[in-house]
Amino acid sequence: MPKRTDIKKILIIGSGPIIISQACEFDYSGTQACKALREEGYKVILINSNPATIMTDPETADRTYIEPITPEAVEKIIEKERPDALLPTLGGQTGLNTAMKVVENGVLDKYGVIMIGANYNAIKKAEDRDYFKKSMLKIGLDLPKSALVKSLKQAREKLKTIGLPVIIRPSFTLGGTGGGIAQSIEEFEQIIALGLRNSMVHEVLIEQSIVGWKEYELEVMRDKKDNVVIVCSIENFDPMGIHTGDSITVAPAQTLTDKEYQKMRDASLAIIREIGVETGGSNIQFALNPEDGRMVVIEMNPRVSRSSALASKATGFPIAKIAAKLAVGYTLDEIKNDITKLTPASFEPAIDYCVVKIPRFTFEKFPEATDILGISMKSVGEIMAIGRTFKEALQKGLRGLEIGHTGLDNKLDYSKISDDKIKHRLKEPNASRIFYIKYAFQKGYSVKEIFELTKIDPWFLSQIKEIIDLENDLIKLSKKNSKKFPLNKEMLLKAKQYGFSDRQLAEYTGSDEVSIRALRKRNGIEATFKLVDTCAAEFEAYTPYYYSTYESEDETRVSKKKKIMILGGGPNRIGQGIEFDYCCCHAAFALKELGYETIMVNSNPETVSTDYDTSDKLYFEPLTFEDVMNIVDKEKPDGVIVQFGGQTPLNLAKQLEDAGVPIIGTSVKSIDIAENRDKFSKLVKKLNIHQPMNGSANTVEEARIIAKQIGYPVLIRPSYVLGGRAMKIVYEENTLNEFVEEAKIVSMEQPILIDKFLEDAVEVDVDAISDGKVTIIGGIMEHIEEAGVHSGDSACVLPPHTLEDKIIEDIKQCTYSLSRELKVKGLVNIQFAIKNDIVYVLEVNPRASRTVPFVSKATGRPLAKIAAKVMVGKTLKELGITKEIEVKHVSVKESVLPFSRFSGVDIILGPEMKSTGEVMGIDSTFGIAFYKSQIAAGQILPKSGTVFISVRNYDKRDIVFIAKKLSDMKFDIIATRGTAKVLIANNIEAKIVSKISDGSSDILDKIKKGEIKLVINVPSGSKGQYDMMPIRSFAVMQGIPCITTIQGAQAAVTGMEASLKSDFKVKPIQDYLKKIA
Amino acid sequence: MKSILILEDGKKFLGESFGASGETSGEVVFNTSHTGYQEILTDPSYKGQIVTMTYPHIGNYGVNLEDIESRKPFIEGFIVKEYSKIYSNWRAKKSLGDYLKENKIVGIEGIDTRALVKHIREKGSMKGFISTVDFNEKSLLKKVKSADSIVGKDLVKEVTNHKIYKFQTQNKSGKNVVVMDFGVKTNILRSLSSVGLNSIVVPANTSFEKIIGLKPSGIMLSNGPGDPEAVTYAIETVKKLISTHIPIFGICLGHQILGLAMGGKTYKLKFGHHGSNQPIKNLKTERVQIAAENHNFAVNLKTLKNAVPTHKNLNDGTLEGIRYQRVPVFSVQFHPEASPGPHDSRYLFIEFLDMVLKFHNSTIAKSKSMLRNGNPMPTLKLRQAGAKRSRFLSGREGGKKYAKKN
């Protein structure tokens, strides 16, 4: 069936900022969809508030609206653009929920827009728990016992028939927010209450607990002729009870016979038909009782998902791209398989390797939160590893996670861990359980015992045991053998096939990574690369998508072209995410334009960079020295780019260069000068640039002396880390110790940096490009929050809205001279602080920064692309980049924080970055741009109601002005005693409310009842923070906007004022950029 | 124990033995199914062949008592990347390795199966030889070259059950179908049974007269191993059966034998289709069904008259199904009975049932009219014979042995 000709313009809703459970996989799917639809001649209208995406590049869609993803904004876009159709299934849960709202609001009917892919009823049937359950029963499928309730009373009633333990899931939420497993009545009541609040429709599902059952997922695709295929089966290593996003998962399913698999396949076909997803992909989850094989349906996502991105990368079958084509009327047999070219997409991929996905957690960022896993997702990223066997893939994945493991190694001495602790860590799912399984085996636990504690399938446990058994053999053997030849060829090969890294082998043999590598090569043991080809080699594959293993045949096809290798950023984490992947993709696009062959190396399955379409060659590999060198040995690239993938590739730069790898762009030496405190201070002095007083220390004692010299408060941080890991402002000597210790651990043998902390300074970020001679500033961003809040967590505005011309000129000059002196070739990011009209340089990062995509969107100048071209030798002049861009519109970047995921965690911003993503607001004025950014970030600034204010003494003067404006806007104000007093004294009406520390829960009650619409709480320095913490956490959990800085409050009030004057308008990025050009 | 695989063209792979020790030879083919090794091992169609599994972990769920497709494995040898020493599944009764040893099947693991598959894809399927005793290249090469080829060889006679047996349905009014056993997979019988048809399974060399004597309402030509041209006796029998206008349904080898009986020609594919993910287009409904396939030979449509193609393989355009004109005869190259594989093509058994019922009803109508005209009612030998049904042939067959009356 040919494509539909009755539709011409299609609206796609993106997924917005990166949050836990909704990450760059939706940029991957959305970008694929935009490309696929435009290829077919459709006009694509896009809304997405996330500037760090490839999909919001002005070239990706025809009309790109970087606007808050709300039903109101979508309506405005529809009114303006008049699309024929809305494709709701590519923007994650956000896209789906927003699409549902616009249907319910009658907007689609009003403008005659049809839904393609999945219609309203199908989505409703899949998403509405009760409706879904009825549908499943209708087609004869089994489900856990369950009931849907709308109140606590009803919940208690239903519990009588279901019985504890139960799983509680709120309807219409994402990643299981607010859900949980209740073992006791107390837990039950608590989770129900929270769940009801979190649910968009005030409804939760109580479900019989099937914790410990085996969990599976099938990725299903359907076309409008009702052809259905299963793209991939996924088996969860961790059994039911842990969110799949937090589980280690394996593809394909490992422990199902064909009979059981086909039963699941039949069920999936029946489900997608019954739910009525007309075209596209769906994800269906099943649980299986390991004792008797009883199979129950858990849930279905009628859209592309994190799992579908994983399945696409795991099989080579591009689900989102094909889903888009199916949505416009093609059928699976009309679409060619990109990889084999000759065979159609109407088949089921066969894979001849094993894929393991491992989640990446960042509990270290939230020390108050426990690393216990449950049905609400907590991980911020993931790694996918491919090997010929599970053992190989698992170890590759673990070493690529970048959490300090070299494989399935020992971070702790197992003999020192008590049995109680082992049992506890095995029984209660947690972020490091995989390693505790190892410790348990080492302590002599049997597969059966570990199975009893974890319910992880004995097959997986036995595989892990095989790894440990071989490790024991390797240690024994190398003790017996000479230092020079610790392992024979046979054992060495076996170890590599089991996925052991050179570093692990070095440890067993008392050698080092480089020597093991040499030993390996002398024995002819080198990585072989195999293709991911969708068909287990049945047909020839044309797409060079590789993974490494140790086999007899290597399949790389090395060309004679000039080639550049780009090292990606690995798994997403706080501080290093989609922004860097964006830059890597741009490098690939730019160098392709110049005729280079581009080689991408990355291990993150969510990304656009690991789409086999992005670069000429894709190596899906961990980013370690060993794995990168294996590829370098084969491909012998003319240049390797380490600047774009964040800290991950930068950390490898020195070692790679020492091994003779041609690193292009800013030299490793310059990178070192920028990172090395002493060298950098010398440079700054030489250039007559101001820098806060500083020093570096190796011991606590040294730190104490330096801090004293500089004077408190000081900012301490480890070197060579991103995202402000372990960075702290220290106000007094007695808290110094603890923080220095922590920084030391993170710093790994590098000195700790100590800076004078500039209080109340304005922080400024600059992104610039230099070709070694000329430097052009890409954008200057003024932070909303004061210096001291990590730049990744701070909102910022471009162009600066409060800085004088002279200051801006100073900033520019500093940027030019620093870039020149560091011989920057490519991107550079510099952070400045301005205090008393003096410009201080805080740090220089000669690499891509988190703000590069934002600046590129705000100015229309693709910084990363230009930088990539500069790195291969083009001058800025040759590229036509001679002037800095002056923009007339205002762009605001706001960060999005994951606090609602970690109950009990304080939401105060500090020098350690905590945000997971960002949004952008654009408008002609600062007020509206800021307002848009807040809405987009989920901070729904109110238009009326009551505001609660409590600020530290220091800010009492500034709050008067803010409160006055709120009062003028007819808001009611309640405040704590001290704050209220100041307000009343300034003729602002304010009611007094008692502090919690005074023993009153008045304010919490008011928040609970929804009486408070906005919280402004600026706590004082180090101690006072804890006083108001319950209020802040509570507000965040309730979804009430909570502002914790005075500058943030000022900006918010400006935004609220602007929004009250006139409702915001929407405008595509292409129109903004037209004005610049 | 060390083990070696050598191919006809001299390419060799070293590995470890995990099944029976000794030597074996056969045509090396590969199967791309992720699951279903137990069904594959017991599919008689693999007689004469050594099967390479493309999925690297094999043996994970062990071997159970239910998922078997014939009375024993007929496969010549089994090649995998990594054999799973432990197994995990609630139905599992023993390990794959033990099962292979019991059945004296040679298994080799630790092979770069992907390299092997690519080799076969490029050079075409060829003979292979596995040994755990002889590692002398020269001697091995001699052995592999002198091993039998499947071309021109009647492998059916080695797998067909020489006794007649019955596989009953629950349905009391179920009609009887004669299944010509060229190496039938039990799931064909289960599938017939599931639509309410009784199977009377007869050896491949059963004569036309004997078959007609069983008064079938339909005839199933089963799957089976090897070269269809070599099964001359069956081709002759099928020719006669076609002329009776009894509905005939052919699967896989049955489809090829039917093609030959209709006067067509078959040819050998480069490396065949073996897997559970083949895209088969139903040319009438225009829909695609994912099907299991296992064949090295195919029917050349151009050599057939009165044949309407009904199914096509979308990967390479191979003919996958035929409906013949003027006779109630149809056949498919793929496996609607699956096992292993998807169940998308089950509808073919219902189509067959419809033909059988139509035939049966018209026969009854005919006999009624004959009765009215004073002709005697034809005796239904089947019913009489049914009284002498004996015990199960084997518990695993799930079917009942049918002792022939004469």
State yes or no: pLDDT of B381 exceeds 70. no
pLDDT-derived band at B85, boundaries 50, 70, 90: very high
Question: Does one domain contain both B281 and B362?
Answer: yes
Which residue in the set B55, B288, B341 is minimally distant from A227, CB to CB?
B288
Question: Does one domain contain both B17 and B75?
Answer: yes
Q: Of A630, A628, A657, A501, nearest to A566 (Cα)?
A: A628
A293/B67 CB distance under 8 A: no
pLDDT-derived band at B132, boundaries 50, 70, 90: very high
Chain A residue at shortest CA distance from B30: A538
Contacts with B345 from chain A: Cβ below 8 Å = none
The whole-angstrom distance between B277's CA and the closest CA on chain A is 5
Q: Any CB–CB contact under 8 A between B398 and chain A?
A: no
B156 alpha carbon, distance to own chain's centre: 10
The 8-class DSSP code of residue A576 comes to B
Query: Within a 10 A sphere around the Cβ of B390, how many other Cβ atoms?
Result: 12
Window 296-325 of B, Cβ < 8 Å to A? 314-316
Question: Does one domain contain both B100 and B192?
Answer: no
**Residue-averaged pLDDT of chain B:** 91
Nearest 5°: phi and psi at A756?
-65, 130
Contacts with A354 from chain B: Cβ below 8 Å = 56-57
Q: Residue B45 contacts by C-beta under 8 Å, 6 or more apart in sequence?
A: B183, B185, B223, B224, B225, B252, B253, B294, B295
Task: Tell me which residues of chain A have a pLDDT lower than 70.
Answer: 1, 172-178, 200, 722, 747-748, 903, 1021-1027, 1077
Number of domains within chain B: 2
Q: In A666-767, where does DSSP find H-type helix?
A: 668-675, 677-686, 700-710, 736-747
Could you give the CA distance from residue A649 to residue A633 in angstroms, rounded to a whole number? 17
Q: Count Cβ–Cβ pairs < 8 Å, chain A vs chain B.
A: 168
Question: Six-digit token pair at B91?
Answer: 């139905």
B48 alpha carbon, distance to own chain's centre: 13
pTM for the whole structure: 0.94
Which residues of B are annotated as catalytic?
252, 335, 337
Which residue in the set B82, B85, B342 is minimally distant from A262, CB to CB?
B342
Q: Which of B120, B146, B172 is the last residue of a domain?
A: B146
Assign A771 to helix, strand or coil. strand
pLDDT at site A1056 = 95
Question: Does one domain contain both B216 and B359?
Answer: yes
- pLDDT of A246-257, one tens digit each? 999 999 999 999
CATH code assigned at B394: 3.40.50.880
Whether B405 is in a domain gets the answer no
Which residue in A255, A258, A263, A529 has the most chain B C-beta atoms within 10 A of its own C-beta, making it the best mutation to test that interface? A258
Whether B71 is in a domain gets the answer yes
Contacts with A347 from chain B: Cβ below 8 Å = 277-279, 290, 314-315
Which residue in B53, B285, B315 has the most chain A C-beta atoms within 10 A of its own C-beta, making it the best mutation to test that interface? B315
CATH code assigned at B80: 3.50.30.20
Dihedral, B242, B244, B245, B246 alpha carbons, nearest 10: -90
Contacts with A349 from chain B: Cβ below 8 Å = 277
Domain residues for the domain of B17 are 2-146
Which residue in the set B34, B112, B277 is minimally distant from A552, CB to CB?
B112
Whether B403 is in a domain gets the answer no
Q: Which of B146, B171, B195 is the last residue of a domain?
A: B146
Which residue in the set B61, B113, B338 is minimally distant from A352, CB to CB?
B113
Question: Does one domain contain both B218 and B104?
Answer: no
Whether B78 is in a domain gets the answer yes
**Amino acid at residue number A428:** E
A256/B13 CB distance under 8 A: no
Which residue in B4, B52, B88, B120 has the most chain A C-beta atoms within 10 A of its own C-beta, making it the best mutation to test that interface? B88
State yes or no: pLDDT of B375 exceeds 60. no
A262/B55 CB distance under 8 A: no
- pLDDT of B306-321, one tens digit each? 999 999 999 999 999 9
The whole-angstrom distance between B237's CA and the closest CA on chain A is 35
Window 248-287 of B, Cβ < 8 Å to A? 275-279, 281, 286-287
Question: Does one domain contain both B71 and B96?
Answer: yes
Question: Does one domain contain both B206 and B114?
Answer: no
Q: Which of B96, B122, B146 is the last residue of a domain?
A: B146
Could you give the CA distance from residue B359 to residue A888 in angstroms, rounded to a whole number? 83
Question: Does one domain contain both B137 and B168?
Answer: no
Contacts with A351 from chain B: Cβ below 8 Å = 34, 55
Q: Which residues of B231-268 are buried (b: 16+ CB within 10 A; e: fewer)?
A: beebbebbbebbebebbbbbbbbbbbbbbbbbebebeb
State yes or no: pLDDT of B111 exceeds 80. yes
- pLDDT of A432-463, one tens digit each? 999 999 999 999 999 999 999 999 999 999 99
Whether B375 is in a domain gets the answer yes
Question: Does one domain contain both B229 and B127?
Answer: no
Give A482-529 as a DSSP string: -SSS-S-HHHHHHHHHTT--HHHHHHHHT--HHHHHHHHHHTT---EE
CA-CA-CA-CA torsion sign (A107, A113, A117, A120): positive
Kindly list the distances between the CA atom of residue A968 and the CA atoms of A140, A240, A960, A979, in Å, as whole numbers in the listed order: 61, 54, 12, 18
Question: Does one domain contain both B117 and B192?
Answer: no
Question: Does one domain contain both B236 and B269?
Answer: yes
Assign A56 to helix, strand or coil. coil
pLDDT at site B139 = 97
Window 11-70 of B, Cβ < 8 Å to A? 13, 30, 32-36, 38-39, 54-57, 60-61, 64, 66-67
Could you give the CA distance from residue A122 to residue A126 in angstroms, rounded to a whole number? 6
Whether B406 is in a domain gets the answer no
The whole-angstrom distance between A1076's CA and the closest CA on chain B is 51
Which residue in B30, B35, B339 has the most chain A C-beta atoms within 10 A of its own C-beta, making it the best mutation to test that interface? B35
Contacts with A466 from chain B: Cβ below 8 Å = 85
Chain B residue at shortest CA distance from A225: B287
Whether B151 is in a domain gets the answer no
Which residue in the set A227, A462, A537 is minimally distant from B54, CB to CB?
A537
Print the SS3 string covering A607-676: CCCCCCCCCCEEEECCCCHHHHHHHHHHHCCCEEECCCCCHHHHHHHHHHHHCCCCEECCCHHHHHHHHC
Could you give the CA distance from residue A369 to residue A904 in angstroms, rounded to a whole number? 7
Chain A residue at shortest CA distance from B279: A347
pLDDT at site B400 = 39
Which residue in the set B85, B89, B277 is minimally distant from A347, CB to CB?
B277
Question: Does one domain contain both B100 and B171?
Answer: no
Around A518, how many Cα atoms within 13 Å sit in the side-chain half-sphere? 8
CA angle in degrees (0–180, nearest 5) for A952-A957-A961? 115
The whole-angstrom distance between B85's CA and the closest CA on chain A is 9
Q: Residue A64 contacts by C-beta under 8 Å, 6 or more apart in sequence?
A: A46, A48, A56, A57, A58, A1068, A1069, A1070
Whether B38 is in a domain gets the answer yes
Which residue in B82, B96, B117 has the most chain A C-beta atoms within 10 A of its own C-beta, making it the best mutation to test that interface? B82
Dihedral, A726, A728, A732, A734 alpha carbons, nearest 10: -20
The whole-angstrom distance between A441's CA and the closest CA on chain B is 16
Which residue in the set A254, A256, A551 is minimally distant from B112, CB to CB?
A551
**Amino acid at residue number A1030:** P
Would you mind telling me the total number of residues written for chain B in this entry?
A: 406
- pLDDT of A652-709, one tens digit each? 999 999 999 999 999 999 999 998 888 999 999 999 999 999 888 888 888 899 999 9
B54/A536 CB distance under 8 A: yes
Contacts with A530 from chain B: Cβ below 8 Å = 114
The whole-angstrom distance between A523's CA and the closest CA on chain B is 18
B57/A332 CB distance under 8 A: no
Assign A355 to helix, strand or coil. strand
Chain B residue at shortest CA distance from A333: B288
Nearest 5°: phi and psi at A159?
-60, -30
Window 333-392 of B, Cβ < 8 Å to A? 338-343
The 8-class DSSP code of residue A278 comes to -
Contacts with A536 from chain B: Cβ below 8 Å = 30, 32, 54-55, 114, 117, 275
Could you give the CA distance from residue B77 to residue A1065 in angstroms, rounded to a whole number? 71
Contacts with A350 from chain B: Cβ below 8 Å = 32-34, 54-55, 275, 277
pLDDT at site A1033 = 80
